[in-house]
Structure 1
Amino acid sequence: MDIRKDLESVAQYISRLLSIGYEFSRFDKDWVHLKNEEDFRFISRIPFATRNKVEAVYAEGRDMALYMSDELLSINSDFSKFPTLTAIIERFKDTWVYGNYDSKVPNIAKKTCEENAVQLWSVEQMCSLFKKQEQLLAAVRITLQMLQDSDLYKMENGLPLMKQEANIHVSGISGSSINIHSSGATATTTTNYNEPTIFNEMIEAIKSKNFDGATESHLIDNVQALAASHQSGCFKEAYKDFINNVSAHITVFTPFLAGISSLL
């Protein structure tokens, strides 16, 4: 896809946002399937007084998918909504991207089902899908921060340009990527993908270091973005950004570098 001319200097990041938008669009189809084609109708077994706690995972999850797909896929074409790079970045403040939702919804839904001895495969899949979407939100946050650090953003806002030469070198990269725009691709609610445990191990390592809140959130966002890229097929490119973004705290990830490299 051609990126609009005024954003060519940050095309790789705009392209990433568009790709994430397509992922959210695909997830929207999964929400519809899980609600209408699986066992979600048996939610009636849960007492009416608490049923809304389970219904919330569908309502919140699908709203997230619809909003994010619509907004992200409009970046490249809707000049009235996104006239500048600054407008793109500002648009996502106070939205799902920065935590404007109840992240406890999936856990509450699971707990409500357990308390009522009701086991629904569709709800389990919805909770898993919700978590996958949160990983994509982390990837969006990281990408927006990179855009805010770009020369184009600084030029638009009259900020001084401070060009720095990157000295990060990543070697031993191999493997192939998956084109999520393939014409033959179809949405499905079942997949053989199993997220490598190394990503959760990295997050636990971050939490054990007692960083300040901002630093911990920044590092966890980067790990979640890396995890999302592994499933979507752009891991090689995301790995380079990850190493660059966490370089100030690279010692935290040293025990995991060999394992991450093996995924390339």
Structure 2
Amino acid sequence: MSDALAAINFDITTYPTLTSIIKRFENTWVYSDLQYVIDEAQQAFNELSLNSWAFNQMVTAFEEQMNLAEVVKQTLLLLEQSNLYKLENGLPVNNEKPSISIQNVSNSNIAVQSEGAQQSISINEQVFEDLLAVIKASNIESKEPLITAVEDMQAESKSGSIGNTYKAFIGAAANHMTLIAPFIPALTAMM
């Protein structure tokens, strides 16, 4: 699985589309509940009255692998909800179009850069507020780089896109995907 995950980033011939990435992991143990493996091993361990430090270390390592598989699964499920995946598979796409409101204009043709015309772009700030709250409430040791990255995205969102700062945020949050995964769809929609 490690090789497959790494190949997604550099092997465009094997994974040319988002759909090919998602299909690669179908019917794999990423979608399996492997808790029974630990339960059966623990039962055998107890029945044999063993006392082995190595066994406990292997159980811990296996649980960590299960947690990583869960993160991969959640990410794949999120990607299946993306507009890109839907477009690739001919599914209906949710196009949230910004609304434009023009008020107090009479007998006037408004042109770009005309005097007296104002425009404003409204961004849902709540996603940034919620993300900051989750980071601050987490047990992450070094929160400041993540907080700064979110604040940078929030500032850049006022210009209409978070493309540049999103990459920096994802880089800073790479080890905390379970924490930020619920926010990824909302953030990618702003790119």
Alignment TM-score, normalising by the size of structure 2? 0.54
List gaps (5 residues or longer) in structure 2.
97-122, 137-142, 147-172, 186-191
Change (3 A) 1:238 1:120: closer
Secondary structure at the residue paired with 1:75? helix
Shift of 1:118: 1.6
Shift of 1:79: 2.8
- The yes-or-no answer on 1:80 pairing with 2:13 is yes
| Equivalent residue in structure 2 for 1:138, among 55, 58, 70 | 70
Describe the superposition over 1:201-236 as per-residue Cα deviations: whole angstroms up to 9, x where unpaired. xxxxxxxxxxxxxxxxxxxxxxxxxxxxxxx9743x
| Equivalent residue in structure 2 for 1:123, among 42, 47, 55 | 55
- Quote the Cα distance in structure 1 between the aligned partners of 2:55 and 2:20: 37
Does the CA-based 8 Å contact 2:15-2:21 persist in structure 1?
yes
**What is the percentage of aligned positions where both structures have the same residue?**
34
Does the CA-based 8 Å contact 1:110-1:124 persist in structure 2?
no
Shift of 1:239: 3.3
Shift of 1:108: 1.6
Greater relative contact order: 1 or 2 (C-alpha under 8 angstroms, separation 6 or more)? 1
- Quote the Cα distance in structure 2 between the aligned partners of 1:239 and 1:102: 22
- Quote the Cα distance in structure 2 between the aligned partners of 1:147 and 1:243: 12
Q: Which residue in 2 is equivalent to 1:242? A: 182
Q: Which residue in 2 is equivalent to 1:156? A: 88
Shift of 1:137: 1.2
Describe the superposition over 1:20-51 as per-residue Cα deviations: whole angstroms up to 9, x where unpaired. xxxxxxxxxxxxxxxxxxxxxxxxxxxxxxxx
Does the CA-based 8 Å contact 2:71-2:178 persist in structure 1?
no
Q: Which residue in 1 is equivalent to 2:4? A: 71
Alignment TM-score, normalising by the size of structure 1? 0.40
Larger Rg: 2
- Quote the Cα distance in structure 1 between the aligned partners of 2:35 and 2:71: 16
Aligned residues: 123
- Quote the Cα distance in structure 2 between the aligned partners of 1:139 and 1:122: 26
- Quote the Cα distance in structure 2 between the aligned partners of 1:233 and 1:89: 19
Shift of 1:136: 1.1
- Quote the Cα distance in structure 2 between the aligned partners of 1:177 and 1:145: 27
List gaps (5 residues or longer) in structure 1.
1-67, 179-231, 246-264
1:205-244 map, 5 Å:
234-235=175-176, 238-242=178-182
- Quote the Cα distance in structure 2 between the aligned partners of 1:78 and 1:244: 23
Describe the superposition over 1:124-174 as per-residue Cα deviations: whole angstroms up to 9, x where unpaired. 111111111111111111111111111211221122221348653324445
Q: Which residue in 2 is equivalent to 1:39? A: none
